[in-house]
Amino acid sequence: MAARVPLRPDQREAIDAGRFVRVELPFASVIVGKVDGAWKAYANVCPHRLVPLDFGGLRPTSDDGRYLLCHQHGALFRPEDGVCIEGPCQGDALRKVGIVAEGQGLLVDDGGPPALPEPIRSREERDPVRSKG
């Protein structure tokens, strides 16, 4: 399911300047921006320790604006595909999120609510063939 995300003027200005910004969805935050005119969005979760890239309220891009940056241990990610090119999670990637422009805002895939644990099932339900023997 997609969530409608309005962009503030300062966020739009940062994106137009080539930076990524954080937007809030019902169940998560996402980093959004443009690469060569195409919208890109990634879950705001570093694959190294699963913390937000912008933890502490810092902006999620490197000072030169060329990479996405996790401020915890300095991992750098390519904005075009989210792959970590330097840092403790080198070779891992940020999770891509669906995004399309809609008027002055965005439609961003919110991923739905967090998964609930599997219900407890009986042995017969889990493996009907083995449970007969």
Which residues ranging from 18 to 47 are in contact with ligand FES (CB under 6 A)? 46
By C-beta, is 70 or 106 nearer to ligand FES? 70
DSSP code of 27?
S
Pairing relationship of beta strands 105-109 and 21-24 according to DSSP bridges: unpaired
Tokens describing residue 124: 């017969």
CB of 44 to ligand FES, least distance (A): 11
Length of the chain: 133
Beta carbons of 29 and 23 less than 8 angstroms apart = yes
Tokens describing residue 64: 């030169």
Binding to ligand FES by residue 86, rule CB under 6 A?
no
Beta carbons of 124 and 39 less than 8 angstroms apart = no
List 51's β-bridge partners, or say none: none
Alpha carbon distance, N-terminus to C-terminus of the chain: 44
Instruction: From 11, 13, 20, select the one nearest 61 (Cα to Cα).
Output: 20
By C-beta, is 46 or 99 nearer to ligand FES? 46
**Quick one: which of 34, 88, 95, 107 contacts ligand FES (CB under 6 A)?**
88
Q: Which stretch binds ligand FES (CB under 6 A): 8-16, 36-44, 81-89, 117-125?
A: 81-89
Interface characters, 110-129, with ligand FES (x: CB under 6 A)? --------------------
Q: How many residues sit in the footprint of ligand FES (CB under 6 A)?
A: 11
**Quick one: which of 4, 73, 96, 126 contacts ligand FES (CB under 6 A)?**
73
Contacting residues toward ligand FES, per CB under 6 A: 46, 48-49, 51, 70, 72-73, 75, 87-89
